Amino acid sequence: MKNKSSESIRTQLLGPLLILLVLQAAVIAGLVLFGGVSIKLKNNEIHILSENTESTKLSLEKETFHHWVVMFNNSEFITAGIQQVLDSEGRESRDILMDHELNRKIVDKVMEKSIEMLHLSHATGVFVVLNGPAAKNSPVEMKAGFYLRNSNSGGYLKDNSSLLMERGLPSIAEKYDIPLDSFWELGFQEDEENKAAASFYKKPYLMAVQNLAAKDDAMKFAYLSQPFRLSPRDIQVITYSIPIILNDGTVVGTCGLEITLNQLEQILGEDQTSGNFEECWLLGIRNKGTKTIVPVAYSGYLYNQYFNESQRIDYEDNEEENISELTSSEGTKWYASIRSLDVYGNNGPFEEDEWVLAGIARQKDLLSFYNAIRRMLLGSMAVPLIFSLLGAFVIGKIMTEPIRRLIVELRGKSGSRGLSLKRVHIREIDELTETIEQLNQDVERASSKISSILEHANVLIGVFEYEEEADRVFCSRSLFQMLDWGSIEEPYCYIKTEKFKKYMKRTFSGIKIKGDRILQCLEGPEGTRWVEFILDGSKKGTILGVCSDVTADVEEKEKLERERNFDLLTEIYNRRAFREQVAAVMNRQKEKVSALIMWDLDNLKYINDTYGHDEGDRYIVLFANCLKIFSEKGGIVARYSGDEFVTFMEADEKEEIREKIREFMKHIQKFSLNTGGGYQFPIRVSGGLSWYPDDAADFETLFSYADFAMYMVKHSVKGVVKEFDLNEYTHNSYMLAGSEELNRMLDKKEVCFAFQPIATREGRIYGYELLMRPKFANMKGISEVLNLARAQAKLSQIESLTWFAGLKAVVAEAMAGQLGADEKLFINSIASVCLTETEQTELEETYGDLLHRIVIEMTEGEPVSHDFMQRKVDMARRWKGQVAVDDFGTGYNSESILLRMRPDIIKVDINLVKRIHEDQNRQIILRNLLDFAKQNNITVLAEGVETPEELEFLMKCGVSLFQGYYISRPQMEIRPLDPYIVKRMQEFSGKT
């Protein structure tokens, strides 16, 4: 009997249970591995690489190619300059082919603006090649023109000494003070050994000639060259060049810009994106339709490690995962996201040479998180399966036949009241039977109690059970109350199926589907109620229905949905909703013109600081209510940030929008904020406007342009709306882009100093001028830094940074043994600001042993504050230091400053020193200054000495101190003077 019972349990209970567990595990595994979760996780990892590559591509295009296209679109000065020379000389375009003197005049005409284009383009070089002879006796195939390279593109110099001439006439280089490079040549000449070096100017020229290009077609024949060396030992560069086409359609040459591969790789390195995997970047060329990339530039240590020796990179496209795959030489598998760069237009002559950017990552790195998740999921399924199998085996051993019979009996009497079960005369089973009977009674009592509690607690949950074969339906009392079917006395009842169907049809006639929820709105005396209707048909032939009151839940979600799109304070759109609404309008707009206006409240900070933020919020709401006038006219308005608002309007013509803005500016003059103290603040707002699609065709650029226009208003004349100006943006965009960099420099003191020697007549070091060298990406040189600081009222912080960071650099040089014990330290001080008394005290405590060597240079490039000037003079006298007037002869009230300040040193500006040995007027000014200085015991220092002739003449005149590129250039570390220069100074000094 025992064996029979054991066998029955294993076959009837344990076997099916084991099968069920295995099937359950298989279903879970299938859902995880093949249900899409795993695939989506993997695709997300791959998508990250694609997004990073797209971001790096856009940044590279913005920094280089697109910026150059803008420059070339504004380069009409070249063709205009050539035409002016031809007109003034009475010549024709074909004379360029034979006349070297005509070519020299053309080069001279376009040189200055070409240098200006070089400084604005972020490029490292600029060139112009003419289809004519370079000089009288030059080879026939040598072409005229010039090629300039900026050897210090990140620095700021007042002259052209940072430029080097690679190709061009020495007379032109001398005129513009441009040194000749060691690889300099007279003109452009193609040779058999390096034909690639001539392709950069020949290809666009020949293509334009072959296609009979018109004047306005120059950009269609733009050509981005492959890497080449201008000279065999020169650095590798790439160029972006276009043909020069005159008004009559004659192609006379080529012009373009250059960037070195080192500069290009630095740009790639700056755009590296951090994440849970390492990336490397490859910029290269591929023939259109092929899957082979020829490397040009790269960034990332992984590329050096695996691909540095590769002359070509072959890859295959994985269509399923929307990514490319490749294998390095030692067998490592990689993913690559490849993006074509927007270099050439459609149907251009060079479109077959595709420039691409590839973001490359090892597959094991990119999918590390994905593989870890898979292992974790499989492990989490295996462990419960093992424990479930063990539990099933134990249960199978414990269960007995009496329990099975008890279950059968229970199922037969399910739902009946006063449950009574048979006894099997086994103590444990009988106790279980008694317990079940007691539980049945408790459940009946609990059911009544729960129904009563839910009714008294106003928690309405109604249930019903519908059986297809039965003629009646079970319904709870709460169901009747919730659906207004009447009332019953018992906790539940049974009603006829036909009657139940009539009730349901009448009540649920207007069901609304929201997601996976079935909702019914019921109108009653107490207002609107929402009922959720849930059906469970898991039991075949039976439907279990549950109705619950979800009014509070629905109202809360509607509230959250409104808060998602609207600003809570002003009840207009927020930033996210505004972007969505504007994007929709821009996508459907065809022939109309639109404007995006950025608004900035001018008085908000003062109101917050003076009257509190509650008054500031009232001021914000007042202006937001005024803006709603645009909404009434079909516009879109939103609060973008604390005191910034945005408006988007469309119309048939621009003047229609301008008129609406003028009416609005008049409209807001009627409104003022009445403060608690009785003072009225009129609404004052500044705005910036950009046009769609004239200024920009995408939202981000359009918004950026409007923000820039508003920024320029905020820092000039407030209270007006200014339209975006591309020329102004080209010259002043650094004031917006560099704001964050300036704040970071001032907060973190991120600035370096260069030291430029000042020498005596005998060639000894008298002192060093400390020259600030900020490390900025968006600003070039200290002048732009000072302009931005002046606009943001931060000149006093620049003054403090100059003193403390400059003397810190001096201490570092002194500790390195590079600074002598007596050399003077010339520090440039801004004339319109001064250190505070607290800063002076801190300076004296920290650098007191250096202050007697200080020479305070007060530049004349800034209007002088006489109060601050006197404080600086007193400060220098207290330290036993000296005072110098910088850039004498170029600033404000030079003579009055000398009389008021009575300086120890006068620094003669470079504009007076330059070619002084050839200019009698400059000589007269210098001799008068020397006479005044001698009578008042003032030392004269000549700045900008760049030639031996200038130095010799200045010594003859009696100048005492000298500074300039001929003496020594500024260096980040102090170095001794060149012995050759010292010898020349001693020779000149002996002559005097």
Residue with tokens 């209007």: 863
Would you place residue 892 in the very low, low, confident or very high pLDDT band (cuts 50, 70, 90)?
A: very low
- Does residue 8 register a pLDDT over 60? no
The tokens for 812 are: 């570092």
Centre a 10 Å sphere on the Cβ of residue 901 and count the other Cβ atoms it contains: 18
List Cβ<8 Å contacts ≥24 apart for 496-505: 496/471, 496/472, 497/466, 497/470, 497/471, 497/472, 497/473, 500/464, 500/466, 500/473, 500/475
Residues shown for the chain: 992
Q: How far apart are CA 270 and CA 292, in angstroms?
A: 26
The tokens for 32 are: 């995880």
CATH 3.20.20.450 placement within the chain: 740-987
Is the sign of the CA dihedral 873, 875, 878, 879 positive or negative?
negative
Residue-wise pLDDT for 643-677, tens only, equals 899 999 999 898 999 999 999 999 988 888 887 76
The amino acid present at 482, given as its one-letter code, is M
- Does residue 458 register a pLDDT over 80? no
Contact in structure between 594 and 646 (CB atoms under 8 Å): no
Q: What single DSSP character describes residue 834?
A: -
Write the Ramachandran bin of 652: left for phi over 0, alpha for psi from -120 to 50, otherwise beta.
alpha
Q: Per-residue pLDDT averaged across 461-479, rounded?
A: 81
Residue 183: which of 208, 203, 165, 163 has the closest Cα? 165
Q: What is the pTM of this model?
A: 0.42
| Ramachandran angles phi, psi of 339, nearest 5° | -125, 130
Instruction: Provide the H-helix boundaries in 457-574.
Output: 477-482, 497-507, 551-565
CB contact burial 340-354 (16+ within 10 A = b; e otherwise)? ebebbeeebbbeebb
Least confident of 146-160, 762-776, 976-990: 146-160
Range from 410-424, 443-457, 564-578 that averages highest in pLDDT: 564-578
* Mean pLDDT over the full length of the chain: 82
Contact in structure between 124 and 153 (CB atoms under 8 Å): yes
What are the start-end ranges of the E strands in 615-717? Answer: 636-639, 644-651, 672-674, 680-682, 685-692
CATH 3.30.70.270 placement within the chain: 566-724
* Alpha-carbon torsion, ordered 205, 206, 210, 214, to 10 deg: 0
Residue-wise pLDDT for 597-606, tens only, equals 999 988 888 8
Angle formed at CA 960 by CA 958 and CA 964, multiple of 5 degrees: 110
Residue with tokens 């490319």: 324
SS3 sequence, 762-804? Answer: CCCEEEEEEEEEECCCCCCCHHHHHHHHHHCCCHHHHHHHHHH
CATH for 566-724, options being 3.40.50.920, 1.10.8.60, 3.30.70.270, 3.40.50.300: 3.30.70.270
SS3 call for 352? coil
Kindly give the interhelix angle for 613-632 and 604-611, rounded to the nearest 10 degrees. Answer: 150
Q: Tell me what pLDDT residue 448 has.
A: 62
Q: Tell me what pLDDT residue 412 has.
A: 55
Least confident of 54-63, 400-409, 581-590, 646-655: 400-409
Q: What number does CATH give the domain 454-552?
A: 3.30.450
CA distances to 327, 940, 967 from 362, rounded to whole Å, are: 9, 65, 53
Q: How far apart are CA 478 and CA 547, in angstroms?
A: 9
Q: Tell me what pLDDT residue 521 has.
A: 74
Residues contacting 712, CB < 8 A, separation 6+ = 688, 722, 728, 732, 735
Q: How far apart are CA 833 and CA 869, in angstroms?
A: 9
For the 740-987 domain, the top CATH level (class) is: alpha beta
Contact in structure between 85 and 271 (CB atoms under 8 Å): no
Contact in structure between 301 and 364 (CB atoms under 8 Å): no
Q: What single DSSP character describes residue 443?
A: H
CATH 3.30.450 placement within the chain: 454-552
- Does residue 6 register a pLDDT over 50? no
Write the Ramachandran bin of 885: left for phi over 0, alpha for psi from -120 to 50, otherwise beta.
beta
Q: How far apart are CA 801 and CA 788, in angstroms?
A: 15
Would you place residue 371 in the very low, low, confident or very high pLDDT band (cuts 50, 70, 90)?
A: confident
The tokens for 145 are: 């023109």
Q: Per-residue pLDDT averaged across 895-917, rounded?
A: 83
Residue-wise pLDDT for 844-882, tens only, equals 999 999 999 999 988 655 556 677 888 888 898 999 999
Q: Tell me what pLDDT residue 350 has.
A: 85
Residue-wise pLDDT for 20-75, tens only, equals 767 776 776 666 566 666 677 778 878 888 888 888 888 888 877 777 777 777 77
Q: Per-residue pLDDT averaged across 364-373, rounded?
A: 79
- Does residue 407 register a pLDDT over 60? yes
SS3 call for 127? strand
The tokens for 300 are: 């990332």
